[in-house]
Amino acid sequence: MNSHPAYGDSERRAAEPLIRLALAEDLADIGDITTRALIAANQSGSVQIVARQTGILAGVSVAQQVFEGLDSQVQFVNCLDDGAALGPGTVVAELYGSLRSLLTGERTALNFISHLSGVASLTRRYVDAVAGTRARIYDTRKTLPGWRVLEKYAVRIGGGCNHRMGLFDMVLIKDNHIAGWKVSGVDHSIASAVRAARDAVGPDVAIEVEVESPAQLHDALDGRPDLVLLDNMPTTLLRQAVAIRDARAPQVVLEASGGVSLASVADIARAGVERISSGALTHSAVALDLAFDWK
């Protein structure tokens, strides 16, 4: 399992516009009219962020950023770091300061930490399901617009690995690319598409190609890709694909994708692939239940 990654500059930069947008949605140009009506400006208070269910913590630093942007005088004390195991009643953080600020930032902070903890918690379940095999769990680009850096951070917190961050940092030749290549190319083989991509990007950029059958795998291996994505193959075909790869090109990494669920991921891993990718880690994660408990 990966060591827990630090919440770094890239995550902080990614969170800033999301926090501004979230607060603007809540406050517009008017502010928190309920809190202003009921709470005196000089009234202070303290609160704990508390888990209501079992899971993995992620996003506590984003929650802290929310209050840094809302009121720099709020004191935010982390009781746990991202990656910590949570259970009902676990105290995540303690906050002290203006009661108005605490009430105004409550939902925004919880939205971030609950969603990211949900991603980390679901990822950990997948990681645990393949323990003892060679397979590692990877995410995909199926992320909420604007949230990719944070959601992929949460995947790492849960023990998973990141696939490419975007279209810019890796070649992934999918079925629609092959369809377009067959229209425009003279040589219609998958191998020729891999070779053309290699000529275009050079030796330092990883190239992965998607295949749907053993025949396509043979074709793809002729082009010498770095990775092959085995799309929606049943475990019988996955085992066959591993045998073909082992015999022909043992240096090529195999990734299974499509139809991956918690019910199926262990069987997929036992087929012998090195990587299993699933969009469910981000697009189907249920927010973890965390709440403010007032002291």
Active site positions, annotated:
107, 142, 174, 210, 231
What is the distance in angstroms between the CA of the first residue and the CA of the last residue of the chain? 37
Please list, in sequence order, all residues whose beta carbon lies within 8 angstroms of the beta carbon of residue 62, skipping any fewer than 6 positions away. Answer: 7, 11, 15, 19, 109, 112, 113, 116, 150
Pick from 220, 210, 204: nearest CA to 169: 204
Q: Give CA–CA dist 149/8, Å, rounded.
A: 11
Q: Are 255 and 211 in contact (CB under 8 A)?
A: no
Q: Are 135 and 274 in contact (CB under 8 A)?
A: yes
Q: Which is it for strands 55-56 and 85-86: parallel, antiparallel or unpaired?
A: antiparallel
Listing from the earlier edge strand, what are the strands of the sheet with 290-294? 75-78, 91-98, 44-51, 290-294
User: Per this entry, what is the length of the chain?
Assistant: 295
Q: Which is it for strands 290-294 and 75-78: parallel, antiparallel or unpaired?
A: unpaired
Q: Are 230 and 241 in contact (CB under 8 A)?
A: yes
Please list, in sequence order, all residues whose beta carbon lies within 8 angstroms of the beta carbon of residue 61, skipping any fewer than 6 positions away. Answer: 7, 11, 12, 78, 82
Count Cβ atoms below 10 Å from residue 153 Cβ, excluding itself: 28
Q: How far is CA 58 from CA 154, 196, 238, 277, in A?
A: 6, 41, 33, 20
3-state secondary structure (DSSP) of residue 79: coil
What residues are paired with 89 via a beta bridge?
none
What residues are paired with 56 via a beta bridge?
85
